[in-house]
Amino acid sequence: MTFTTCSEAQFIDLSSTTPTYTIVSWDWDLGDGNTSILQNPLHTYAPGFIGIASLTVTADSAGTTCQDVFSFPVQAPDLPTVYFTWDPEPTCLGGATSFFGTSGNPITLWEWDFGDGFSSAIQNPIHTFLLPGAYQVILRVTDNNGCINADTNIVNVGSIPDVDYTFNPDPTCLNDITNFFGTSSIAPYATAWTWDFGDGGVAFTQDAIHTYISAGTYNATLTIEDTNGCTNSVSYPVTVNPLPTANFFHDGPVCLNDSVHFTNISTSPNGYIARWQWDFGDGTSQNVIFPGDPNVAHMYSNPGTFQVTLTVTDSDSCTNTTFRDVIIVANPIADFNYTPACNQQPVQFNDLSSINGGNSLFSWYWEFGDPASGVNNISTLQNPSHIFSTGGSFDVLLIVTNTDGCTDTVTYPVAVNPLPDVQITTDADTVCVNAVANFYGSGSVNIVTW
């Protein structure tokens, strides 16, 4: 007996007899309730059948018959085991689905039917479904006995979730916050939102914020996942503009009550500066809008050091800030007194000026209000003296200057007393020796000593 296919057995009669006898009949008991009287029958067993078959032969010799029986075991090959799995489950439209066929038997043929008109003949194929739906996938296997078995499963192919996003500002600016807004029709049911901002930064919320720390163009990607584990992604380029360069200089330090002049030298690589915001550090500010003149002047009301801030905004709305200190120097306070004197006597002037919190005094300039004295009407000494050309009242001016070039001026009236008017008379122009001579003095009423 030989199995020609999985469960089809070919029985071959090998009986023999003596030369005077001839075998005239063959009675087969195939062991599964079936019989045959053929000499070499062909019979199909149920897969995995185990039983005892027998052959009874009858021989005849001139009317004399003899019989013999031969019994033998029959074991039909069983069907091969077969099952398969796949990943992912559920699978997603457009995504590759991996199938894994398994059997406990030596398999000579793997036949896949994916239920969508496509097939494969390898053990572990990869297949991509083109439409969503439920597909009946069949795996048929043939073992080395020619036995065939199959496994069938329903493979669900889910739709890809829709996804999109917007962001602002666009373009964005270096070191500024960029807002990203994810959208999808399945947003309430999405199980994951994953942002890849293209610079190594990530986020895991529907809406996200991100700050780029280098200028350039980045490919930002949003990936969404639904309850079936299906994902979809969308990417857009995000342009990150470099910041404008905020810069300026000024003509400080300056003296109190003088204006400080600020000169803008800011630039932008993106276009042009559209706005300058000056903060003078004393509670006052000034905004200039293009095409206005960004160079400004400011007068401070108090001495001190002030931090001046310039914030520039370019035509792409990118901003940058810089600051400089400006020093406002206190003016000195000019003051003096003098020693009263009479005409033709020197008047001593004493400098009483103070630095007033500023730097040291550097120079003194005096005008005595006495042009008749010629070149002596001016002095650059700190404590000069002056002989007035006549008596009277003179407006004396003092200008003091400190080492920062800051000045102050004071003018005081100076009274110069005229010389007293005095006369002498006698009783006689000539007197004798030892005689009394009378002298009579007269003069200004303010004479106190004779």
The pLDDT value given to residue 446: 63
Give residue-wise pLDDT tens across range 131-184.
999 999 999 999 998 899 999 999 999 899 999 999 999 999 999 999 999 999
Residue 280 and residue 179 share a domain:
no
Task: Tell me, yes or no, whether 338 and 450 share the same domain.
Answer: yes
Q: What pLDDT is attached to residue 449?
A: 67
CA distance 109 to 122: 8
| The last residue of a domain, from among 13, 45, 75 | 75
**How big is the chain, counted in residues?**
450
Which residues 6+ apart lie within 8 Å of 250 measured at CB?
Answer: 260, 261, 262, 263, 308, 324, 326
Segment-wise mean pLDDT, segments of 10 residues, the chain, 450 residues: 88 94 96 96 93 96 93 93 93 92 95 97 96 96 93 94 96 95 94 97 98 97 93 96 97 93 95 96 97 97 96 95 96 95 92 93 97 96 95 96 94 88 74 76 63
Q: In terms of DSSP bridges, do strands 91-92 and 148-158 run parallel, antiparallel, or are they unpaired? A: parallel
Residue type, position 427, single letter: D
| Residues of the domain holding 114 | 83-158
**Residues 431, 350 share a domain:** yes
Q: Does 218 lie in the same domain as 262?
A: no
* Listed residues 273, 303, 329: the one ending a domain: 329
145 and 56 together in one domain: no
Closest CA to 380 of 366, 400, 395, 369: 366
The conformation of residue 372, written as its DSSP 8-state character, comes to G
Which residues on neighbouring strands pair with residue 260, listed in sequence order? Answer: 298
Q: Does the predicted model carry a pTM greater than 0.85?
A: no
* 46 class by beta-carbon count within 10 Å (0-12 exposed, 13-18 middle, 19+ buried): exposed
pLDDT at 270: 85
Query: How far apart, in Å, are the Cα atoms of 268 and each of 244, 245, 273, 275, 318?
Result: 4, 6, 6, 11, 9
CATH code at position 34: 2.60.40.10
CA–CA separation, 365 and 375 (whole Å): 13
> In terms of domains, do 315 and 340 share one?
no
User: What confidence score (pLDDT) does residue 407 get?
Assistant: 95
Map residue 96 onto helix, strand or coil. strand
233 and 264 inside one domain: no
Yes or no: say if 245 and 267 are a contact pair by the CB < 8 Å rule: yes
Q: How many CA atoms lie within 13 A of 379 on its CB side?
A: 22
DSSP 341: E
pLDDT reported for residue 445: 54
Cα 100 → chain centroid:
45
* Encoded amino acid at 421, one letter: D
Q: How far is CA 289 from CA 52, 170, 296, 312, 315, in A?
A: 108, 22, 12, 10, 11
358 and 420 fall within a common domain: yes
- In this structure, the answer to whether residues 446 and 353 fall within a common structural domain is yes
Which two three-digit tokens encode residue 319?
A: 């901003």
Q: How far is CA 56 from CA 8, 68, 154, in A?
A: 21, 6, 52
Give the chain's domain count: 5
Structural tokens at position 271: 């276009």
3-state secondary structure 104-155: CCCEEEEEEECCCCCEECCCCCEEECCCCEEEEEEEEEEECCCCEEEEEEEE
Q: State both tokens at 288.
A: 């200039």
Residues 265, 290 share a domain: yes
State the CB neighbour count (10 A cutoff) for residue 427.
Answer: 10
End-to-end CA distance of the chain: 178
Task: Count CB-CB contacts under 10 A for residue 140.
Answer: 16
The answer to whether the CB of 112 falls within 8 A of the CB of 139 is yes
Give dist(CA 397, CA 329) in Å, integer: 23
Q: Output the pLDDT for position 269.
A: 92
Distance of alpha carbon 173 from alpha carbon 68, whole angstroms: 104
Q: Do β-strands 346-351 and 336-339 pair in parallel, antiparallel, or remain unpaired?
A: antiparallel
- Nearest-angstrom CA–CA distance, 448 and 450: 7
Q: Which residues, 6 or more positions from 205, have their beta carbon under 8 angstroms from its beta carbon?
A: 193, 195
Where a domain ends, among 206, 241, 276?
Answer: 241
Query: Is 207 found in the same domain as 275?
Result: no
C-alpha span between 238 and 176 (Å, rounded): 13
Same domain as 153, residue 103: yes
Q: What is the per-residue pLDDT across 57-103, written as a single tens digit (0 to 9) for each?
A: 999 999 899 999 999 999 999 999 999 999 988 899 988 999 999 99
pLDDT at 431: 76
Structure tokens at 274: 């559209």
In a 3-state reduction of DSSP, which class is residue 235? Answer: strand
